[in-house]
Homo-oligomer: A and B are copies of this chain.
């Protein structure tokens, strides 16, 4: 074989014949690059054998400490059944492109249609797209949609004062090119201060954003009121949530949500350093304002049901600068995995998993609350997966000591930690409590 790319199949003889066929003497002849900008240096990257690359990366990644993570705050994982890995890795799914030729990509299209359908069921809203990058970009796109589709003349986007920094900063960038302004509204004991919000909302508000559960894990008790307040002023109500919470908590449609955004990668993906799956669902009314791809049902020439990407005139490759978003490549394969995981759980499994997110968090909070110098949860009310913990000692020091014991938790204030429990670490909660005792 030739040296060079192991993935280029050409033999030397074949290369020669092909060069002859195109009338070139060498591969270099085919490059029409002016001398001035021709690169004749080297990258200095040495080629390695497959096994050596595997060994090298394994060695590098092994430098990540082996911690039991009690981390959440928007990036959550549950146990992913082997089935999902096995089936999603099938090359027909994994190595396919966007379905621009639907006749030979019905398989992927159907999975995406099923993914959309699951989100329609869970949100109660009739339109869900194929995916956004993550919760942060989904929220940001929602704000832009509110800007385009607004029913009022306002420019204000209201978000809770307690919001993950990453979300806020993405939102800021996405609205920077518009006339929208982001403002915060106050929270009270971890959930929305309804009165304060009501006072803040006026007819110049384009969108009100609230989360359920909040980034601190609190379940929002007065969602419908937020919906009403938004509706009364003509603002869009955008609700942030995640795919597991949707299975148990109030249905977004029933509380008046106009757009639902959030993370769907809590199903289908291992913990993956923040790699996400932005869910995006909305009312029929905003269908033509939706960013990203949509799969619709149709018929083929033999009148059989078939699926296809649809309403593409919203998208950048057709509408260019008037597109609803610049998104092109999305998180399709993650959506496929999430759909598989959700299908694996079924409604019973999904609801059970969501219930455990409540009960496991409650139990762990109660146990931690029993420790001297610890109070948990800091906020009243119900929690989903995670909660804030008050520690009398400096939170940073405690977190650092816990890390030395093999546990990772969030530091969210001078004396505040945040702890997240799922089925992946639930068997280690006793060990975590012991570690707390150790380091206090």
Instruction: List chain A positions with a Cβ less than 8 A from chain B.
Output: 1, 50-51, 54, 79, 81-82, 86, 89-91, 346, 348, 423
C-alpha spacing A335/B305, complex, angstroms: 41
Chain B residues, CB < 8 A from A89: 86
Whether B50 contacts A346 by the Cβ 8 Å rule is no
C-alpha spacing A90/B90, complex, angstroms: 7
Chain B residues, CB < 8 A from A346: 1
Min Cβ gap A57→B in Å is: 12
C-alpha spacing A23/B399, complex, angstroms: 64
Min Cβ gap A69→B in Å is: 16
Chain B residues, CB < 8 A from A1: 346, 348
Q: List 11 A-B contacts (CB under 8 A).
A: A1-B346, A1-B348, A50-B79, A50-B81, A50-B82, A51-B79, A51-B423, A54-B82, A86-B89, A86-B91, A90-B90
Min Cβ gap A3→B in Å is: 12
C-alpha spacing A181/B316, complex, angstroms: 81
Known: A1-B348, A50-B79, A90-B90. 8 other contacts (CB 8 A): A1-B346, A50-B81, A50-B82, A51-B79, A51-B423, A54-B82, A86-B89, A86-B91
C-alpha spacing A24/B348, complex, angstroms: 29
Which among A79, A91, A423 has the greatest number of chain B C-beta atoms within 10 A? A79
Across the two chains, which residue of chain B brings its CB closest to A92? B90
Min Cβ gap A106→B in Å is: 18
Across the two chains, which residue of chain B brings its CB closest to A78? B51
Chain B residues, CB < 8 A from A90: 90
Min Cβ gap A238→B in Å is: 35
C-alpha spacing A85/B54, complex, angstroms: 14
Chain B residues, CB < 8 A from A51: 79, 423
Min Cβ gap A323→B in Å is: 37
C-alpha spacing A53/B54, complex, angstroms: 27
Min Cβ gap A278→B in Å is: 27
Q: Which 3 A-B residue pairings sit nearest by Cβ, starting from the closest?
A: A51-B79, A50-B81, A1-B348
C-alpha spacing A423/B55, complex, angstroms: 13
Min Cβ gap A91→B in Å is: 8
Chain B residues, CB < 8 A from A86: 89, 91
Chain B residues, CB < 8 A from A91: 86
C-alpha spacing A89/B86, complex, angstroms: 9
Across the two chains, which residue of chain B brings its CB closest to A83? B50
C-alpha spacing A89/B1, complex, angstroms: 27
Min Cβ gap A400→B in Å is: 28
C-alpha spacing A50/B83, complex, angstroms: 11
Chain B residues, CB < 8 A from A423: 51
Across the two chains, which residue of chain B brings its CB closest to A50? B81
Min Cβ gap A431→B in Å is: 14
